[in-house]
Chain A
Amino acid sequence: MRVVVARSGGVTGIAVRWVVDLGEGPEYSDWIVLIEACPWDDEPDDPPAPDRFLYLIRANGRRVTLPEQRVQGPWRELVDRVRAVGTPERGRALPPLDDLDATDDLDTADNADTTDDAARTRGDDRPNGPRGSDGPA
């Protein structure tokens, strides 16, 4: 499974993206718990605020767009974790997000209409694998 945090905006206007490809490592179920703790369906429609970052987060067949002010609680935990593990890629030469969607679909094709239950099951199906396989692939 691929987790993407794409940050755009800010006064610099320089986009940054962190991508983490999760294998069946020991932390896989932790990631799933964290991902599923996020309120994916509560996408805010706050009016845009000048020079604030805009986050697009994708994981486990879901996606959400959040202004940085809303990156709180489990969202903040998820974003900080992805940033800690993933390598930042900057600038506009990044592949369009739709290309990342396609890659993500490869991993989650069996899971396109993920519900909370399905995601939990999927997490449970993949408990502890060999260590060290959850870094960027």
Chain B
Amino acid sequence: MRHFIIPPYLLAHLADSAGDRFPRAAEAARQALRNDEPVRLARAAHPRYPDFGEGTPRTAFAREPRGPQRTIYDARNAEELPGHRVRAEGEPEVVEDDAANEGYDGLGETYAMFAEAFGRASIDDRELPLHATVHYGREYDNAFWDGERMVFGDGDGEVFTRFTASISVIGHELGHGVTQATANLEYQGQAGALNESLSDVFGALVEQHSRGQDAATATWLIGAELFTDAVEGVALRSMKEPGSAYDDDLLGKDPQPGHMDDFVVTTEDYGGVHINSGIPNRAFVLTATAIGGSAWEAPGRIWYETLTGGSLTETSDFETFATATVATATRLFGAESPERAAVVDAWATVGVPVTE
């Protein structure tokens, strides 16, 4: 190795991935990271991490992440991607373009949550640059992750405002990128609803992390900023009380279930992935409120490490995921821990059986 100061994210990367080809570099990196253990990990001391043999605790990454490399594009109401580059990392705000600036800030908040809570270096954990396109299409009521970038519409102005206005939606879209880079849950049926739910979880965590809210005071709403004043509703979804987000003449009633008894079978929306996500969403909120404190800490870590830990397949269903979260909680916090008990209780409350 050459002799220059190696930032922790790079040490972590080496510790993680250099093992096969450069075992000495990997061990040196691991040693350096151990010497640099964050104080706030003290509560989760090594003896409680019997399975951490494959690497160092991931949160050791989080001390000095390199930071996001953001680029914002403007589609100018066309549907061609990426559009015209309007702002890159470190450049000043775009004059009179709230969507561009909100997108820039939201990508930064999302990067920060994943880096500081989970030690994740961007979407792919390898500092993937973050690209977003705003002003996509005309009156486009949507935002999506297209496999490479986030794309945001301006909304129709009657029901929806611009989609960059919601930090939980920005975090949701980037969350799809993280899922794609890890368990790659297929976007259909229960696996698709889990994919959706994980994006809602990450979206909520990004918002809470940016506002310093704990599980008890957080709104647990997704897209609270998107409806116009004409709509009788508070958000697209309520993770805490699925089915309660809106009840409006124009939109009908929020169709999300919060229990397996009410699981919706439909061919629309790839098997109702945005509907049945209410069930695992509620399980996460129950877990987070039972554990208490910042939801991106223990609860978020259990969900994140379940997603990234390699035990899921692309077709995992609710039961498989629930069982895997219990296993993750056991591994991280111990079989008798309140964290594990919170996870077990949460899945029981929403009617998803856990196989042990």
Contacts and interface: CB of A to CB of B under 8 A. Distances in A.
Interface of A: 6, 8-15, 47-54, 56, 90-94, 97
Given A51-B144, A53-B142, A11 B163 contact: yes
A11 B143 contact: yes
Interface string B150-188: 000000000110010000010011001000100000111
A24 B76 CA distance: 39
A8 to B, nearest CB: 4
A11 B142 CA distance: 6
B192 interface: yes
Contact of A13 (B173, B180, B274): B274
B263 interface: no
A91 B236 contact: no
Given A90-B250, A92-B252, A93-B252, A15 B269 contact: yes
Interface of B: 141-147, 159-160, 163, 169, 172-173, 176, 180, 186-188, 192, 195-196, 199, 223, 226, 236-237, 248, 250-253, 255, 267-270, 273-275
Nearest to A96: B266
Contacts of A90: 159, 250-252
Contacts of A50: 144-145, 176, 180, 187, 195-196, 199
Main DSSP-derived SS at the B contact region: mixed
B275 A13 contact: yes
Contacts of B195: 50
A10 B274 CA distance: 8
A54 to B, nearest CB: 6
Interface centre among A6, A52, A94 (most CB of B within 10 A): A52
Contact of B187 (A10, A15, A48, A56): A48
A11 B269 contact: no
Interface centre among A11, A47, A97 (most CB of B within 10 A): A11
30 contacts: A8-B268, A9-B274, A11-B172, A11-B173, A11-B274, A13-B237, A13-B273, A13-B275, A14-B236, A15-B268, A47-B187, A48-B186, A48-B188, A49-B144, A49-B146, A49-B147, A50-B176, A50-B195, A51-B142, A51-B145, A53-B142, A56-B268, A90-B250, A90-B251, A91-B251, A91-B253, A92-B253, A92-B255, A92-B275, A93-B253
A56 B141 CA distance: 17
Contacts of A91: 248, 250-253, 255
A84 to B, nearest CB: 12
A92 B173 CA distance: 23
A12 B251 CA distance: 11
A52 B137 CA distance: 13
Given A13-B237, A91-B251, A52 B144 contact: yes
Nearest to A68: B142
Interface centre among B147, B188, B223, B251 (most CB of A within 10 A): B251
Contacts of A54: 268-270
A50 B268 CA distance: 14
A97 B267 CA distance: 10
Contact of B273 (A9, A15, A47, A94): A9
Nearest to B250: A90
A11 B144 contact: yes
Contact of A12 (B180, B186, B223, B267): B223
A11 B270 contact: no
Nearest to B222: A11
Contacts of B251: 14, 90-91
B346 to A, nearest CB: 22
Given A11-B169, A14-B251, A91-B250, 4 more contacts: A9-B274, A10-B144, A91-B251, A93-B253
A51 B269 CA distance: 9
A10 B253 contact: no
Nearest to B237: A13
A53 B160 CA distance: 16
Contacts of B274: 9-13
Nearest to B255: A92
Contacts of A92: 252-253, 255, 275
A49 B147 CA distance: 8
Contacts of B250: 90-91
A9 B173 CA distance: 14
Interface centre among B195, B252, B267, B269 (most CB of A within 10 A): B269
